[in-house]
Amino acid sequence: MKQAQTAIRPTREENYPEWYQEVIKASDMAELSPVRGCMVIKPWGYALWENITRIMDDMFKATGVRNAYFPLFIPINFLEKEAQHVEGFAKECAVVTHHKLEKNEDGALVPAGKLTEPLIVRPTSETIIGDSFSKWIKSYRDLPVLINQWANVVRWEMRTRIFLRTSEFLWQEGHTAHATRQEAIDRTHMMLNLYKKVVQEYMAMPVIIGEKTPAEKFPGAETTTCIEAMMQDKKALQAGTSHFLGQNFARASDITFQTPQETEDYVWTTSWGVSTRLIGGLIMTHSDDNGIVLPPRIASAHVVLMPIIRSEKDRETVMGYTDALAARLREKCYYHRPINVEVDTRNTGARNWDWIKKGVPLRVEIGPKDIEKDSVFVGRRDRDPKDKIAIQKDEFIATIGDILDDIQQALFDRALAFREANTCVIDDINTFDAFFTPKNKEKPEIHGGFALAHWCGKEACEASIKDRLNVSIRCVPFEAENESGKCIECGEKSRKRVVFAKAY
């Protein structure tokens, strides 16, 4: 059978990792930078991040969170205050040891002016924000403190992949301080549910919400909660985390307050964050062998108008009609922002495929014959590129929001159906091992998906599975029902199933 022609080669089936890189290149979203492991986010990709940040920022502020900014550089002694924290990040830290450059005898620039104390380039900000909190908080009347910052982070990764894992990336990190343990726990879960709402309702990515095991939690946290999504290669992607830090960082930074009983106590803190990794997750959840597929609620643009001008005598009529349609569409709003309209006047056969590869939800062709019928020719990105229909112009304007919603829902339903089709309940160790063992040695990334299996709670069993199969416990789902069972590894008693998967 002859293989269908696609815009992206290799296809997902042929080579998933390379397909991912080619999709990003073809959509003009981002590119590698001259600095190893770093990326340049181009306008089409950055528009996605802007939409995500705007949505989340509004939601954060609705819960009382305010934005601030803290230094990029962190004194090394700050990290040393929290032993688990520094151990967790030590191998990824970029360190500044000098403050200027000078020319040597050969005329080459070399570091000079050695610092008295090295500075760490921000891998995360619990310690330096904790220092500020220790100055701001004196009494229970100062609490809670609810802070977020939008910033960049540096973690010196050995193996990098655009958006998913880079040495520098963009993120938000929220940090809060509370008078009671329960108030901090409630905030931890509030922000996790906010992430779930954004990722599912705006990015159309179904997620499992749960708690990390002690071995997988954030360094220094009491508990880490997370949202986990399945990519099209059946691997898991940790799409967001929210940490209950207890009083660990408060003790390290000496963040104390006077209670209503006039005693002194340490505050209870949280931290929570998502990053540009979400864009990588979106690409791997929805895209196909023709390029990126963008969910309308966060798309860089909602619709592209493509006027068809076959001769100069048609130009004025076609462009007048196109510009008038663009103006009317821009007057409408979709999910709290104006409809974003692109107008592509290029007279080239590649135009249509360029926008398919860029994932714009709706492509609209406008030619003289369409104008005679007062109609437009519409293609949806969630359907076959050849599947286009004629719609009366006024009807298209009136129903564009409904069409975009239909695309949004279709993408979510498709991703959810894929996850459910590749999630198995497993109770036998041989079945479990076979589920995660590649069937084809030439394609080691192909495996079963998510396994719901019992775990006794012992780190030894968790580590054994990870060493043998490169499979980790992604989370203990909050929605998992209590049920008696036996640990998939050792056979000892277990009360609940957890999610096992290979992961990014």
HEC profile of 407-469: HHHHHHHHHHHHHHHCEEECCCHHHHHHHHCCCCCCCCCCCCCEEEEECCCCHHHHHHHHHHH
Using CA atoms, how far apart are residues 326 and 375, in angstroms rounded to an integer?
14
Please tell me the predicted confidence (pLDDT) of residue 89. 77
pLDDT value at 3 more than 60: no
Reference 500, options 472, 481, 478, 480; nearest CA is 472
Chain segment 108-120, per-residue pLDDT in tens? 999 999 999 999 9
**Strand 423-425 relative to strand 450-454, pairing:** parallel
Say which range, 18-27, 126-135, 155-164, 208-217, has the weakest mean pLDDT.
Answer: 155-164
Look at the block and give the residue holding tokens 């701001």.
136
Reference 162, options 17, 274, 355; nearest CA is 17
Look at the block and give the residue holding tokens 């369409």.
370
Chain segment 414-425, per-residue pLDDT in tens? 999 999 999 999
Using CA atoms, how far apart are residues 411 and 199, in angstroms rounded to an integer?
12
Please tell me the predicted confidence (pLDDT) of residue 86. 66
Chain segment 18-33, per-residue pLDDT in tens? 999 999 999 999 999 9
Please tell me the predicted confidence (pLDDT) of residue 4. 65
Which whole number is the average pLDDT over 316-341? 97
| Local structure of 236: helix, strand or coil | strand
Using CA atoms, how far apart are residues 387 and 375, in angstroms rounded to an integer?
16
Contacts of 21 (CB under 8 A, 6+ apart): 161, 162
Say which range, 89-98, 249-258, 402-411, has the weakest mean pLDDT.
Answer: 89-98
Please tell me the predicted confidence (pLDDT) of residue 158. 80
Using CA atoms, how far apart are residues 261 and 301, in angstroms rounded to an integer?
56
pLDDT value at 2 more than 60: no
Chain segment 36-79, per-residue pLDDT in tens? 899 999 999 999 999 999 999 999 999 999 999 999 999 999 98
61: Cα within 13 Å, side-chain hemisphere: 9
| Local structure of 503: helix, strand or coil | strand
Please tell me the predicted confidence (pLDDT) of residue 90. 83
For helices 393-421 and 277-286, angle between their N-to-C axes, nearest 10 degrees:
90
Reference 55, options 239, 195, 206; nearest CA is 195
Q: Are 459 and 472 in contact (CB under 8 A)?
A: no
Q: How confident is the model at residue 1 (pLDDT cuts 50, 70, 90)?
A: very low
Q: What share of the chain is helix, strand, coil (3-state, %, to 5)?
A: 35, 30, 35
Domains by residue range for the chain, with CATH: 20-94+121-286 (3.30.930.10), 296-411 (3.40.50.800), 423-501 (3.30.110.30)
Chain segment 268-304, per-residue pLDDT in tens? 999 999 999 999 999 999 999 999 999 999 999 999 9
- The pTM assigned to this predicted structure is 0.95
> For 2-74, where are the alpha helices, taking DSSP H only?
16-27, 43-62
